[in-house]
């Protein structure tokens, strides 16, 4: 990694509000966590007094069961972004190009540039139709962030085959796949799958995730992984969460129902993209995005200004939370009557027209 490049590249903006007075819809992590997870985390203190097991076989076994692969193919990482960085670092060298979806997660391009590569952007809706020839890396985020677009498995496999034919590493970011019924691409040759516990299990601060890859690619990832790169509490918590099948089922159902309820309501006022993720992308049209974000904040709700995503200039992104919290979001965005008494309406009982 070049020092001057690292110095010149700024940080990518992300969702999440540090204001405890705001209900945070700008981040897209699950507001629920599995029962018993705090107990597991606290119990891991004693194991933290020694180095974690190397390799962490129990965590790898749980992750392998979760995505249906061989434990040997699992490479534990401190969060999904660390898995992405590891894959990019092995695939991209100075002067290489990487095929990246847009709009999508900004860290892909940043990691490529850190390695001296150049992003080649393609519309996220058509990324699977793109020609990977000549690119060292191709990236697909499924469901895509921030659009919520899910991709057909057969189409993904066909794209993976084209990538293999052109010696292009395919990185599939499945950070939000756990919110869907879609099957992971783990075990697919030539593919690096990146997964995180951040989103589905509501634990962004734990920093636990993993990559999955087969063959020589998997061997390279295992060789490049830092020893002891997950703490003992992160390993214990991750292993526990990955085995909570009931929690995952309940989350699927809640998110599905609430996402559709929110989409129906918000569509009265905004253009809302179809989504398979725990968030919705809203086109606010000719309204001022800053004004929409500020008015929501004035009403106690933080939403994500999505203009930081490439190609979006009139959009915000909102998370899907619990039902009562979602009512507050609707009121803050001037939709529906439920929850308006919790700060959603203006003093005269009406809602300002620019929100």
Torsion of CA 308, 311, 313, 317, to 10 degrees: -60
184 and 301 fall within a common domain: no
Residue at which a domain ends, from 243, 261, 280? 243
Tell whether 175 is covered by a domain. Answer: yes
Q: What is the pLDDT of residues 274-289, one digit of tens each?
A: 999 999 999 999 999 9
Q: What is the pTM of this model?
A: 0.92
Tell whether 45 is covered by a domain. Answer: no
* Structural contact between residues 235 and 197, judged by C-beta atoms closer than 8 angstroms: no
Q: What is the pLDDT of residue 154?
A: 97
Q: What is the pLDDT of residue 18?
A: 67
CATH of the domain at 272: 3.90.1150.10
Domain containing 319: what range? 3-28+246-333
70 and 191 fall within a common domain: yes
169 and 67 fall within a common domain: yes
166 and 283 fall within a common domain: no
Where helices occur in the chain by DSSP H, the ranges are 3-8, 37-43, 57-67, 80-91, 107-114, 153-165, 215-224, 232-241, 245-266, 289-298, 323-332
257 and 148 fall within a common domain: no
204 and 97 fall within a common domain: yes
Q: Give the DSSP per-residue string, 269-304.
A: TSEE---SSSEEEEE-TTS-HHHHHHHHHHTTEE-E
Tell whether 353 is covered by a domain. Answer: no
Q: What is the pLDDT of residue 137?
A: 98
200 and 328 fall within a common domain: no
138 and 236 fall within a common domain: yes
Residue at which a domain ends, from 204, 225, 243? 243
CATH of the domain at 54: 3.40.640.10
- CA dist 262 and 55 (Å) reads 43
Helix, strand or coil, per DSSP, at residue 318: strand
Tell whether 44 is covered by a domain. Answer: no
pLDDT < 70 positions in the chain? 12-18, 337-355
Tell whether 268 is covered by a domain. Answer: yes
Tell whether 347 is covered by a domain. Answer: no
Q: What is the pLDDT of residue 341?
A: 35
Helix, strand or coil, per DSSP, at residue 268: coil
* Structural contact between residues 176 and 277, judged by C-beta atoms closer than 8 angstroms: yes
- CA dist 113 and 96 (Å) reads 10
237 and 259 fall within a common domain: no
159 and 223 fall within a common domain: yes
Tell whether 170 is covered by a domain. Answer: yes
Residue at which a domain ends, from 243, 275, 297? 243
Tell whether 57 is covered by a domain. Answer: yes
| 44 alpha-carbon distance from chain centroid | 26
231 and 257 fall within a common domain: no
* Total domains, the chain: 2
190 and 70 fall within a common domain: yes
């Amino acid at each position: 990694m070049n020092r001057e490049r690292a110095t010149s590249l700024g940080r990518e903006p992300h969702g999440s509000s540090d204001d405890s007075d705001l209900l945070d819809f700008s981040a897209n992590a699950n507001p629920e966590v599995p029962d018993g997870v705090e107990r597991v985390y606290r119990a891991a203190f004693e194991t933290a007094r020694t180095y974690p097991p190397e390799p962490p076989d129990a965590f790898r076994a749980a992750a392998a069961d979760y995505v249906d692969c061989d434990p040997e193919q699992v490479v534990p990482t401190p969060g999904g972004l660390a898995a992405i960085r590891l894959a990019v670092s092995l695939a991209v060298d100075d002067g290489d190009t990487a095929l990246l979806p847009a709009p999508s997660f900004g860290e892909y391009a940043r990691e490529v540039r850190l390695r001296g590569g150049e992003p080649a952007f393609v519309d996220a809706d058509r990324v699977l139709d793109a020609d990977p020839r000549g690119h060292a890396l191709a990236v697909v985020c499924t469901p895509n962030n921030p659009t919520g677009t899910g991709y057909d498995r057969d189409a993904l496999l066909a794209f993976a085959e084209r990538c293999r034919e052109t010696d292009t590493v395919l990185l599939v970011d499945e950070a939000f796949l756990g919110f869907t019924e879609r099957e992971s691409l783990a075990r697919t040759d030539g593919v690096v799958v990146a997964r995180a516990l951040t989103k589905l299990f509501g634990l962004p601060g734990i920093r636990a995730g993993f990559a999955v890859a087969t063959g020589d690619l998997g061997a390279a990832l295992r060789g490049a992984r830092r020893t002891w790169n997950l703490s003992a509490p992160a390993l214990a918590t991750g292993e526990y969460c990955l085995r909570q099948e009931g929690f995952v089922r309940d989350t699927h159902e809640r998110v599905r129902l609430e996402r559709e309820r929110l989409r129906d309501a918000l569509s009265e006022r905004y253009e809302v993209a179809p989504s398979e993720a725990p968030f919705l992308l809203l086109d606010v049209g000719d309204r001022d995005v800053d004004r929409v974000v500020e008015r929501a904040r004035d009403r106690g709700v933080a939403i994500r200004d999505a203009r930081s995503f490439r190609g979006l200039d009139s959009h915000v992104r909102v998370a899907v939370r619990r039902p009562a919290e979602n009512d507050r979001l609707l009121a803050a965005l001037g939709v529906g009557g439920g929850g308006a008494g919790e700060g959603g309406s203006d003093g005269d009982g009406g809602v300002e027209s620019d929100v």
